[in-house]
């Protein structure tokens, strides 16, 4: 009866409370908005409301914010009695612990469960609104919404609620509850990493308290079609997991029940509304000896007083906050979090860690991953600062003191800034500690300070201003905190959703730090936007002053009246100043970003390209003269930044008909000072919007005739941009290619490629790239028209302290007029694609036979240069031996800032982003630098000497072969063990990325699927090598190079390579080519049982029960079984150390059929593990079941 | 049912002795516990109200061991703490009903009657639907009384209840308490001497955790007859007077200081005897001339 009463009372109280419904509204809106924000990506393969997406969205996103709401609800349920002072009454009734705690907890749980319904509801309603594109939606199924709710959200609520309620009841304060919620979140993230390493699937399924990892693991290898329609259902393991954790929740509550006592809190810092119980102070009698003389202290009010009052308020507020028990815990927690989150931040490919350089720590760990901490700190502590006086009952005393409202606010704001600074100091400590623990000591304190106490501090202080204002306006602490968090989230996501930065508080362009170029071109725009928002922050603080609650009139109308009354004097002046600054700075920013530069709204992006196609697309195949030679003179001014380009093209008419016009396409960002032909011509079309020009010749150009196009162009960006900040020409680390130089004739590559955008502008879908069997396709090796192999000479000038590098061969370098000049050229005609680099480089030079090797790198990045050189030499060694000679006399590596590509191979030049220079490899571990270098060098053959036709499957000839070649070099130099690790990585890359793409294609037809080209390609070729033998495969490749080295149409396609491979593959293995290249084939092999019996001669006979299956998938992932009769390795291994396999006792290929089969082998020693495909070479989504532990027994009867 | 407190001691952390060996016997009726702030009153009240545990000693309410059988005590306990509050957004009526259920008044009809009668008694019937957050200090106090009185408790512990009440409310409150005191044991702790003087059957004076005096008010006053002397002095004479004689209290009246002095016989010229009142008892005891000395005498005798 009493339990029911407690339950009903609490339920009624909470349901009547507006904050409960505001939490529900918050979650509802958050889900809806989250869905709308992420649904814009038209590349998504699955419907945004497929069961998988619904599950992920509600459980992860909703669960995360639901945690905050739970902290508020359960925390309030636990401490309200004590906070209100009602506990002495409650504890002295007949109420028992079970009834009290049980009733409160159940009611809080019920309310929270009702609020949690807002999560799937918000998701569902969002799908009904027109804000989500209809074609991104599938049918809404009730089960898709219900299952995650029942399986994850509600049980997690019980667990989380039990923990938070216990914390609240024991601590009797609210901040520990928030800390508990943060701890749950953080703890979960931390453990999530370890969780994936648990071998046993049962243990790993059970060990997951919130079930989220289990959910993600379930989805990991699903195909697009599965993700589209398959419901999660109620898998047995997950249900047991829920039962287990519900039991643990009950355990937590049992602990609470034991610990809880109906007693007055014994001096634990318990707050009372009117008096503090001071334990230690012994009351002394006020000695009164007749009339007293009160000290005469005159009060002075002037500017100095104001300053001191402000500082006093600040100091006092800060001390109050920092002296609470929660603060040091939160502080230490922040440091701990940095360590935990950042520990594996420096990992890149192949598990190869990079050095935890400060840049990496600062940008990924501190700026990106840990952004939640400052938000929480600001939201919670701003509330504390605004509410503290009222909560302890000191408000009326403080309000009646002669402290102007503005100073009361300013002092508190300064205290908040102090708290933010303190947490940034924690970040600094965490970052440095992280580096020390990983053995890296170049701390670059200057960089830390600039980022943490410069850029980030400014952003967080602005948020602090907003937080204080929100808390002042919204007269409810918990609701205020939630609103502040929403505002933080919004400001972060403004960028993603394309909202204008001038309209969303504290938003603005981000920054990328580069070791070479510092904050480069990003600092200016960032600072200007922050100044603009600082003006707004000033206005916000003025508003906070106006609405500051002083005294006892919290009603809305009264506050508005008071606000109006307060708008005088200094406050009015401040408001005026703020408004003026907003207009001035806003105007300046607007002028720069919208007037001097283009920043079209989201749905206008792409219009120029659309117009280009619409107006001039018909000229696509019009005959035009071909570019055969170019001479260029480029003046690079890194400091401005600007590039002046002058030069000329030699155009030859190879079309066979006479030409009466020359079409020229120029980049729209380029200023055209002059462009002309060397004969009479009329500029018939000068279209500035699209950059298209048509010169009509007075006299037609006969076949075989040539003419010269001269041009004088400039790339001189003006002002600054907020989006698409140009990073090509920067202070140190300039890198640009030929895109600013003129193109001859209509170029299809500049058309709009985004399907959604094309539809918006009324263009049909782009025609697909032709297939590898298409004869037409062989005529071209690129989409570029009217350019073949080009002879070029380029003179590039740059600042005196920088070195310019151009793809090609260096002719000479000199200094002139205080600038450095270089002259590069190409000996024979090469594809015309000069890339220009300019930076303050250090150069390392070496030789390999008669090839000059150079590495142009940032002087500080020298520690991997040796490894790169080793890679270059080893690659040249192997490739020259196997594929044929390297066709140039120079090979260089140039380092660029991390703004554009990570690695690219150009003519004679390999471009590497900074990241590659800071990898760190342990002894004998796979080295990304080495592998990457080998891969790029391989491109000189695959893509350089051999140019594939511009058709689907082209990447097989360039990327897959380069990856395979790099794997071969790795094997030769670092050993087969390392090559195996690379193989595993490529396999995982292929399998795990399959789900992200709309369609799946066979290797032969690969087109823009990196995971197939790089991942599956490497796997396929390596597998082929295993079966055919290295000699045979390499022989095919060598002949392929010889055949196509000369170039010129017809260009080879993937089918040509396949044909060559077929020619050398024995009949029994032809199936491999079909499986690996022509189809999408997956295997599924499993060893059900492995039994060993000792034979008479002391040997062991091992019997394996193997089940095998081969599946063919179509482009959307539907699978059908196909008969299998393939060569698969069978292996038996001796006991090994740890989890690894021991020495192989038996390793041979057997024929494995579809279905069940028994395989018997004999081994000389006692085996430990045995099975099929031990080295996981088959493309199998579940490779854990390939091997089984061997059971040793007497003769084991084979089971079928 | 009488309340027997025997040798109760409680020490907070940092060796603050809140209660030292407190022994009291409290029969039915009003019992006043008088002492200054920090004397240990609230601690004792909380122990009696089952909200704290003494480190030593025992407390019995009739047969019930208060310390070990808390549940039984709570079944017949009414506690009005020194500072308290209520959930601000609930109405007085709902709150009272809630507590009624918690105190075991389950029968809906009986409960409604009890709630109504208490609200009328405390003059809150007109505002019973209003949220408690809008109540004034006195109204909140009265609601606290109503809660404490739910269920006709046999033991009522009231901690400093009249601080903050206006004179009318104070009188009404004290009358209410004395009515109740006819049927239950009411323990009233206060530092306002007048409360105790007028109403209590017995009183005790406590200071620094020790009981200095336990007596009936009339007898305590009687014991001081012809021991309290009064003299009017000027401000400058006062320090000299205090050095020579045991001055127990001083008061300013129209610019002159009136001093009360404790002495077995007239201390000298200018002194006149006064009829002692409770305040004199209190000050004498606190100054050490009475009470504690008496206890010491009793110990020496036994």
What is the tens place of the pLDDT at every residue in A936-955? Answer: 999 999 988 888 888 998 98
Mutate to test the interface with A, among B19, B72, B87, B160 (most CBs of A within 10 A): B87
Predicted pLDDT of residue A273: 33
Q: Looking at beta carbons, which residues of chain B come within 8 Å of A17?
A: 89
CB A730 within 8 A of CB A897: yes
Contact B242 A9 (CB under 8 A): no
Answer yes or no: do A266 and B12 touch at CB < 8 A: yes
Chain A hits for B39, Cβ within 8 Å: 283
Alpha carbon distance A4, A104 (integer Å):
10
Give the CATH number, domain containing residue B282: 3.30.70
Option in B89, B106, B208 nearest A1 (CB): B106
Separation in Å, CA of A180 to nearest CA in chain B? 25
The answer to whether the beta carbons of residues A731 and A693 sit under 8 Å apart is: no
Same domain, yes or no, for B261 and B166?
no
B-interface mutation test, from A3, A89, A100, A107, most B Cβ less than 10 A away: A89
Look at B51 and A290 and tell me if their CB atoms are within 8 Å: no
The beta-carbon neighbor of B98 closest among A1, A9, A272 is A9
Contacts of B52 in chain A (CB under 8 A): 263-264, 266
- Cα A250 vs. chain centroid, distance in angstroms? 38
Q: Tokens 């293995």 identify what position? A: A1069
Structure tokens at B109: 């009809």
- The answer to whether residues B197 and B291 belong to one domain is no
Q: Which run of H or E residues covers position A825? A: strand A819-825
CB neighbour list of residue A870: distance below 8 Å, 6 or more residues apart: A930, A973
Domain boundary (B165, B187, B216) is at B216
Task: Based on the fold, state whether residues B51 and B100 are members of the same structural domain.
Answer: yes
Whether the Cβ atoms of residue A946 and residue A1052 lie closer than 8 Å to each other: yes
pLDDT for the residue A675: 93
Test the A interface: residue of B91, B102, B239 with most A CBs within 10 Å: B102
Q: Which residues in chain B are contacts of A273 at CB distance < 8 A?
A: 83, 85
Summarize pLDDT for A236-289 with one digit per residue, the tens: 778 888 888 899 999 999 999 998 888 876 543 333 333 334 434 444 445 544
Query: Could you tell me which of A1167, A1194, A1200, A1198 has the C-alpha nearest to residue A1103?
Result: A1198
**Rounded CA gap, A1007 and A797, in Å?**
39
Low-confidence stretches of chain B (pLDDT beneath 70)? 13-15, 291-302
For CA atoms A905, A906, A910, A913, the dihedral sign is negative
Do the chains contact at A290 and B250, CB–CB below 8 Å?
A: yes
> In this structure, what are the phi and psi dihedrals at residue A914, rounded to the nearest 5 degrees?
-50, -35
Q: Indicate yes or no: CB of B74 within 8 angstroms of CB of A92.
A: yes
Instruction: Give dist(CA A428, CA A445) in Å, integer.
Output: 9
- Domain of B290 in residue numbering reads as 221-301
User: Which residues in chain B are contacts of A9 at CB distance < 8 A?
Assistant: 94, 98
Which of A647, A611, A621 shows the shortest CA–CA distance to A632? A647
Note whether B116 and B62 are same-domain residues.
yes
Count CB-CB contacts under 10 A for residue A73.
27
A96 vs B144: CB contact, 8 Å cut-off? no
Residue among A2, A97, A290, A475 with most chain B CBs within 10 A, to mutate = A290
Q: Tally C-beta pairs within 8 A across A and B.
A: 111
Separation between Cα atoms, residue A527 and residue A531, nearest integer Å: 6
Of B37, B42, B102, the CB nearest to A5: B102
Question: Domain ends where: B170, B190, B216?
Answer: B216
* B93-148: pLDDT as tens digits: 999 998 888 888 888 899 999 999 999 988 899 999 999 988 888 888 889 989 98
- Tell me the C-alpha distance between A88 and A1065, whole Å: 89
The verdict on B58 and B149 lying in the same domain is yes
Q: Which residue of A has its CA nearest to B75?
A: A94
Nearest CA in chain B to A278: B38
- In DSSP terms, A711 is beta-bridged to A647, A675
Instruction: Report the gap between the CA of B215 and the closest CA in chain A (Å).
Output: 24
Residues B209 and B246 placed together within one structural domain of the fold: no
Q: Map tokens 């196609």 to a residue.
A: A613
How does DSSP assign B204-233, residue by residue?
EEEETTEEEEEE-HHHHHHHTTT-EEEEEE
Look at A283 and B103 and tell me if their CB atoms are within 8 Å. Answer: no
- Measure the CA–CA gap between A531 and A508, rounded to whole angstroms: 11
CB contact under 8 A, A290 and B235: yes
pLDDT at A553: 65
- For residue A403, the distance in angstroms to the closest alpha carbon of chain B comes to 28
Measure in Å the smallest separation between the Cα of A486 and chain B Cα atoms: 27
Give the integer Cα–Cα distance in Å for A90 and B51: 11
Above pLDDT 70, what percent of chain B? 95
**pLDDT mean for each 10 residues of chain A (1200 residues):** 91 90 85 71 62 81 81 90 88 89 94 92 83 73 85 90 93 85 78 64 72 74 68 79 89 91 59 38 48 63 81 86 79 80 59 70 72 82 85 74 82 93 90 85 87 89 93 84 82 71 86 88 92 94 88 76 84 92 94 87 86 91 91 93 94 91 92 92 90 92 92 93 89 92 92 86 86 85 84 93 92 93 86 89 94 93 89 94 91 92 88 84 69 92 89 90 92 85 85 75 87 90 89 93 85 91 90 90 90 87 91 83 90 82 88 91 89 88 85 56
Contacts of A685 (CB under 8 A, 6+ apart): A692, A693, A694
List Cα–Cα distances, A318 to A331, A381, A418, A428, B74, in angstroms. 14, 10, 7, 20, 43
How much is the pLDDT for A417? 94
Cα separation values, A679 from A649, A657, A698, B137, B216, Å:
13, 19, 8, 101, 129
Please give the tally of structural domains in chain B: 2
Residues of A in Cβ contact (< 8 Å) with B98: 5, 9
For residue range B7-36, list pLDDT tens digits in order.
999 887 666 788 989 999 988 889 999 988
Contact list in A for residue B35 (CB cut-off 8 A) is: none
- The nearest alpha carbon in chain A to B150 belongs to A93
For B101, the closest of A1, A85, A280 (CB atoms) is A1
- Minimal CA separation from B183 to chain A, in Å: 20
Give the alpha-carbon dihedral of A367, A373, A374, A375, to 10 degrees.
110
Q: Which residues of chain B are within 8 Å of residue A89 when distances are taken between CB atoms?
A: 79, 81, 84, 99, 144, 147-148
Both tokens of residue A202? 């049962």
- Residue of chain B whose Cα is closest to the Cα of A261: B51
Whether residues B225 and B201 share a domain: the answer is: no
Long-range CB contacts (within 8 A, 24+) of B69-73: B70/A262, B71/A94, B71/A96, B73/B155
- Final residue in a domain of this structure, among B201, B216, B231: B216
C-alpha neighbours within 13 Å on the C-beta side of residue A841: 26
* CATH code, domain carrying B143: 3.40.50.300
Residues B34 and B157 in one domain: yes
Contacts of B38 in chain A (CB under 8 A): 281-283
Separation CA A990–CA A963 (nearest Å) = 13
B73 and B194 together in one domain? yes
Q: Are residues B209 and B242 in the same domain?
A: no
According to the model, what pLDDT value does residue A43 have? 47
Taking CA–CA distances from B78, the nearest residue in chain A reads A92
Question: What distance lies between CA A552 and its chain's CA centroid?
Answer: 49
Alpha carbon of B75: minimum distance to chain A alpha carbons (Å) = 6
Do B86 and B168 fall into the same domain?
yes
DSSP 8-state secondary structure symbol assigned to residue A85: T
The label of the residue with tokens 């009734």 reads A93
Indicate whether B250 and B212 sit together in one domain. Answer: no
């Amino acid at each position: 009866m009493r339990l029911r009463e407690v339950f009903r009372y609490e339920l009624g109280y909470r349901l009547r409370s507006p904050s409960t419904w505001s939490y529900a509204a918050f979650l509802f809106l958050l889900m809806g908005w989250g869905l709308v924000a992420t649904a814009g990506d038209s590349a998504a393969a699955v419907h945004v409301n497929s069961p998988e997406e619904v599950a992920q969205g509600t459980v992860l996103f909703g669960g995360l914010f639901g945690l905050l709401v739970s902290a508020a609800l359960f925390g309030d349920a636990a401490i309200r009695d004590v906070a209100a002072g009602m506990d002495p009454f409650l504890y002295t009734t007949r109420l028992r612990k079970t009834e009290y705690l049980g009733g409160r907890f159940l009611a809080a749980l019920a309310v929270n469960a009702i609020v949690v319904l807002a999560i799937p509801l918000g998701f569902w309603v969002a799908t009904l609104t027109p804000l989500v594109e209809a074609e991104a939606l599938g049918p809404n199924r009730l089960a898709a919404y219900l299952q995650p709710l029942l399986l994850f959200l509600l049980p997690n609520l019980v667990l989380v609620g039990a923990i938070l309620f216990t914390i609240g009841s024991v601590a009797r304060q609210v901040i520990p509850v928030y800390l508990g919620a943060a701890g749950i979140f953080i703890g979960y993230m931390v453990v999530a990493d370890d969780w994936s390493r648990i071998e046993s699937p049962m243990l790993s399924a059970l060990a997951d308290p919130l079930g989220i990892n289990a959910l993600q693991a379930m989805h990991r290898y699903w195909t697009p079609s599965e993700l589209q329609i398959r419901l999660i259902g109620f898998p047995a393991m997950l249900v047991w997991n829920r039962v287990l954790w519900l039991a643990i929740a009950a355990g937590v509550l049992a602990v609470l029940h034991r610990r809880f006592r109906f007693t007055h809190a014994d001096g634990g810092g318990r707050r009372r509304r009117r008096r503090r119980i001071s334990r230690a102070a012994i009351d002394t009698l006020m000695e009164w000896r007749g009339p007293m003389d009160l000290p005469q202290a005159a009060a002075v009010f002037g500017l100095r007083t104001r300053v001191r009052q402000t500082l006093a308020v600040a100091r006092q507020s800060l001390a109050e906050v920092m002296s609470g028990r929660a603060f040091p815990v939160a502080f230490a927690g922040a440091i701990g979090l940095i360590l935990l989150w950042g520990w594996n931040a420096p990992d890149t490919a192949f598990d190869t860690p990079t050095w935890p350089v400060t840049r990496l720590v600062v940008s990924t760990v501190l700026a990106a991953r840990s952004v939640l901490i400052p938000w929480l700190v600001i939201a919670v502590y701003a509330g504390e600062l605004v509410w503290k006086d009222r909560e302890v009952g000191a408000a009326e005393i403080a309000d009646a003191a002669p402290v102007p409202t503005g100073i009361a606010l300013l002092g508190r704001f300064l205290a908040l800034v102090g708290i933010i600074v303190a947490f940034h100091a924690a970040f600094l400590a965490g970052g440095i500690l992280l580096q020390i623990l990983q053995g890296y000591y170049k701390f670059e304190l200057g960089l830390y300070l600039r980022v943490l106490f410069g850029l980030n501090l400014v952003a967080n202080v602005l948020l602090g201003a907003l937080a204080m204002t929100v808390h002042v306006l919204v007269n409810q602490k918990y609701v205020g905190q939630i609103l502040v968090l929403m505002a933080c989230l919004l400001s972060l996501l403004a960028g993603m959703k394309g909202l204008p930065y001038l309209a969303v508080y504290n938003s603005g362009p981000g920054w990328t730090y580069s070791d070479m170029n510092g904050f480069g071109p990003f600092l200016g725009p960032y600072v200007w936007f922050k100044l603009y928002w600082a003006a707004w922050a000033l206005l916000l603080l003025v508003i906070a002053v106006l609405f500051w609650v002083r005294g006892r009139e919290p009603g809305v109308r009264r506050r508005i009246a008071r606000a109006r009354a307060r708008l005088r004097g200094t406050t009015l002046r401040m408001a005026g100043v703020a408004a003026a600054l907003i207009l001035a700075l806003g105007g300046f920013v607007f002028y720069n970003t919208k007037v001097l530069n283009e920043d079209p709204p989201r749905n206008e992006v792409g219009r120029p390209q659309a117009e280009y196609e619409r107006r001039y697309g018909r000229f696509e195949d019009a005959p035009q003269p071909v570019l055969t030679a170019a001479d260029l003179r480029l003046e690079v001014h890194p400091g401005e930044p600007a590039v002046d380009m002058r030069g000329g093209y030699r155009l030859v008419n190879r079309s066979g008909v006479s030409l009466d016009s020359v079409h020229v396409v120029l980049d729209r960002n380029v200023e055209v000072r002059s462009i002309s032909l060397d004969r009479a011509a009329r500029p018939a079309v000068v279209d500035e919007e699209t950059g298209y020009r048509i010169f009509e010749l007075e006299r037609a150009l006969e076949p075989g005739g040539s003419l010269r196009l001269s041009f004088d162009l400039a790339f001189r960006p003006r002002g600054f941009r907020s989006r698409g900040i140009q990073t090509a020409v920067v202070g140190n680390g300039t890198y640009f290619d030929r895109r600013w130089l003129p193109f001859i004739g209509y170029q299809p590559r500049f058309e709009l490629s985004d399907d959604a955008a094309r539809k918006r502008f009324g263009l049909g879908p782009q025609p697909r790239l032709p297939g590898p069997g298409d004869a037409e396709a062989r005529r071209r090796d690129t989409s570029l028209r009217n350019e073949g192999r080009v002879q070029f000479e380029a003179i590039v000038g740059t600042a005196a302290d920088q070195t310019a590098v151009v793809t090609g061969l260096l002719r000479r370098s000199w200094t002139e007029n205080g600038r450095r000049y270089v002259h590069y050229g190409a000996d024979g005609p090469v594809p015309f694609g000069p890339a220009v680099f300019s930076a303050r480089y250090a150069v390392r030079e070496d030789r390999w036979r008669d090839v000059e090797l150079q590495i142009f790198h940032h002087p500080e990045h020298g520690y991997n240069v040796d490894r790169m050189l080793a890679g270059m030499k080893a690659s040249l060694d192997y490739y020259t031996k196997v594929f044929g000679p390297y066709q140039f006399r120079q090979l260089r590596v140039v380092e660029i800032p991390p703004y554009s590509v990570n690695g690219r191979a150009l003519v004679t030049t390999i471009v590497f982003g900074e990241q590659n220079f800071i990898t760190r490899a342990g002894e004998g571990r796979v080295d990304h630098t080495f592998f990457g270098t080998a891969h790029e060098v391989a491109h000189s053959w695959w893509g350089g000497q051999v140019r594939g036709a511009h058709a689907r499957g082209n990447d097989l000839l360039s990327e897959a072969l380069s990856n395979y070649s790099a794997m071969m070099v790795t094997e030769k130099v670092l050993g087969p063990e390392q090559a195996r690790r690379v193989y595993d990585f490529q396999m995982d890359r292929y399998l795990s990325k399959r789900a992200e793409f709309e369609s799946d294609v066979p290797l032969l037809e690969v087109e823009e699927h990196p995971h197939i080209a790089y991942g599956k390609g490497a796997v396929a070729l390596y597998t082929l090598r295993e079966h055919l033998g290295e000699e045979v495969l390499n022989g095919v490749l060598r002949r392929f190079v010889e055949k196509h080295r000369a170039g010129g149409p017809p260009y080879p396609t993937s089918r040509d390579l396949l044909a060559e491979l077929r020619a050398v593959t024995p009949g029994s293995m032809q199936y491999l080519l079909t499986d690996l290249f022509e189809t999408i084939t997956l295997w599924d092999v499993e060893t059900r049982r492995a039994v060993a019996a000792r034979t008479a001669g002391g040997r062991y006979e091992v019997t394996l029960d193997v089940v095998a299956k081969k599946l063919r998938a179509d482009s959307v992932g539907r699978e059908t079984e196909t008969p299998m009769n393939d060569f698969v390795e069978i292996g038996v291994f001796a006991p090994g150390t740890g989890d690894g396999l021991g020495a192989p006792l038996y390793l041979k290929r057997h024929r494995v059929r579809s279905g069940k089969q028994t395989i018997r082998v004999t081994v000389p020693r006692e085996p430990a593990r045995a099975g099929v495909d031990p080295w996981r070479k088959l493309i199998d989504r579940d490779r854990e079941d390939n091997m089984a532990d061997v059971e040793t027994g007497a003769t084991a009867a084979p089971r079928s | 049912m009488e309340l027997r407190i025997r040798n109760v001691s409680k020490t907070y952390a940092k060796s603050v002795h809140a209660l030292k060996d407190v022994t009291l016997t409290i029969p039915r009726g009003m019992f006043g516990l008088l002492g200054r702030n920090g004397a240990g009153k609230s601690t004792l009240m909380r122990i009696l109200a089952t909200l704290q545990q003494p480190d030593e000693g025992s407390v019995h309410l009739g047969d019930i061991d208060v310390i070990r059988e808390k549940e039984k005590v709570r079944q017949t306990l009414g506690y009005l703490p020194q500072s308290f509050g209520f959930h601000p957004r609930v109405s007085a009526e709902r709150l009272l009903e809630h507590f009624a259920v918690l105190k075991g008044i389950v029968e809906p009809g009986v409960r409604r009657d009890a709630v109504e009668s208490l609200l009328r008694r405390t003059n809150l019937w007109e505002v019973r639907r209003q949220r408690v957050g809008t109540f004034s200090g006195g109204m909140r106090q009265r609601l606290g009384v109503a809660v404490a009185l739910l269920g006709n408790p046999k033991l009522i512990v009231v901690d400093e209840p009249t601080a903050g009440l206006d004179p009318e409310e104070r009188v009404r409150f004290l009358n209410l308490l004395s009515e109740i005191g006819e049927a239950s044991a009411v323990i009233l702790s206060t530092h306002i001497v007048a409360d105790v003087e007028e109403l209590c059957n017995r009183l005790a004076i406590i200071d620094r955790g020790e009981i200095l005096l336990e007596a009936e008010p009339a007898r305590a006053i009687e014991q001081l007859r012809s021991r309290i002397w009064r003299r009017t002095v000027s401000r400058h004479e006062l320090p000299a007077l205090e050095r020579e004689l045991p001055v127990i209290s001083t008061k300013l009246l129209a610019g002159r200081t009136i001093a009360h002095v404790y002495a077995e016989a007239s201390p000298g010229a200018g002194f006149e005897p006064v009829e002692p009142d409770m305040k004199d008892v209190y000050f004498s005891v606190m100054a050490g001339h009475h009470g504690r000395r008496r206890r010491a005498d009793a110990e020496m005798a036994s």
